[in-house]
Chains A and B, each alone.
Chain A
């Protein structure tokens, strides 16, 4: 029964009721935990995960209505299904339970067959909801997923200050042609794992992956105190991780890979774009274009990391860099001052 077994919390102040409900739920193959009032129930729910709450209404300290209100207001707990089991008087009280978010109401003493059906339905609904959340998390970053779950979905954007990072693998097309498809996917997966680690570790969010290229945001959707500093720290770590990865590749007699990174800081418009059916969280604006241009320019400049003037100024000299003068970029009216960040050299691999 282990597979279908769920954890059920039973909150009831009456000992006979707790015993009887425990027995009924255990007979259905689920594991139980007990709370003798609403306050204890909330404490347990905040400490450990439960699949379902069986909730009495009349309880000392904190009654069932208050528990329902607090669960509803708690982002982490609002999806825990609740079945109210009570012998409370008055239809208005039962309606109040449902309005406060209870899945169902079962009068006491609880009929075993009805309990089985209600628990089954509630757990199935929770399973589907959990699945849905996991899916959102797989295809969106956890920050975007949180944002979606909290504020819901709406097309439209807002203007925020952020750093945008673009990166890709140099000479990737030639590499793809020289090796089998499995090896390419394998390489990409390792590469992405390393890059996600470096970006996530510095508070960034990978927003897009296209082939061997990626776009990451620092400061959106969640604000960062020093988005430029974080973005450059992530860029340096990305280069370092690739250098280490190349050491492994060289022992396997594989050619090293090189990456180019561009970072720009400034105002971006962030939000959901697309249609009501299919949309993506993204950032648009001059800063984004500039970061992409800088990344492309690493090929021309022959260096790993290029940043714009705004990013450079935000760093306050904390990272060694070399000014490369002004460069005219496509789509830019005036030439842009650019800087090369000096990455520490490991075995001269990059």
Chain B
């Protein structure tokens, strides 16, 4: 497993303070909600809605941080701070990268839970 996807110390602290059973439930919720957040981000990009785009990125960042998904957090935060790019193709490339990072994080969290 790639330690750079999920920061084990963050994950362990989450488990220790809230309980293993609860964290399993929290991971399940994140995996249920994740695709919706990514779809929201894409939809906001498509309709050039900066506010919606920023909010969706913020949500993903926040959840990524909770689980110690370091790269996912960084990519989402970049979107939140930068906002919509004047060139949509650049955002499309970054979105693809974010989506594959989400897939990696989700897979690893599933394995950890």
Contacts and interface: CB of A to CB of B under 8 A. Distances in A.
Given A13-B59, A108-B62, A108-B65, A19 B14 contact: no
B18 A15 contact: no
Contacts of B81: 89
Interface in A159-189: none
A112 B18 CA distance: 9
B113 to A, nearest CB: 13
Interface in B1-48: 14, 17-19, 22, 25-26, 29-30, 33
Given A108-B65, A108-B66, A27 B18 contact: yes
Interface string B79-93: 011000000000000
A310 interface: no
Given A15-B29, A19-B29, A20-B26, A109 B18 contact: no
A16 B65 contact: no
Interface size on B, as a range, is 20 to 34
B interface, by DSSP: helix, strand, loop or mixed? helix
A109 B80 contact: no
Contact of B61 (A60, A87, A112): A87
Interface residues of A, number: 18
Given A14-B62, A23-B22, A58 B55 contact: yes
Interface of A: 13-17, 19-20, 23-24, 27, 58, 60, 87-89, 108-109, 112
Interface of B: 14, 17-19, 22, 25-26, 29-30, 33, 55, 58-59, 61-63, 65-66, 77, 80-81
Given A14-B63, A24-B17, A87-B62, 17 more contacts: A13-B59, A14-B59, A16-B29, A16-B62, A16-B66, A17-B66, A20-B26, A23-B22, A23-B26, A58-B58, A58-B59, A89-B80, A108-B62, A109-B65, A109-B66, A112-B17, A112-B18
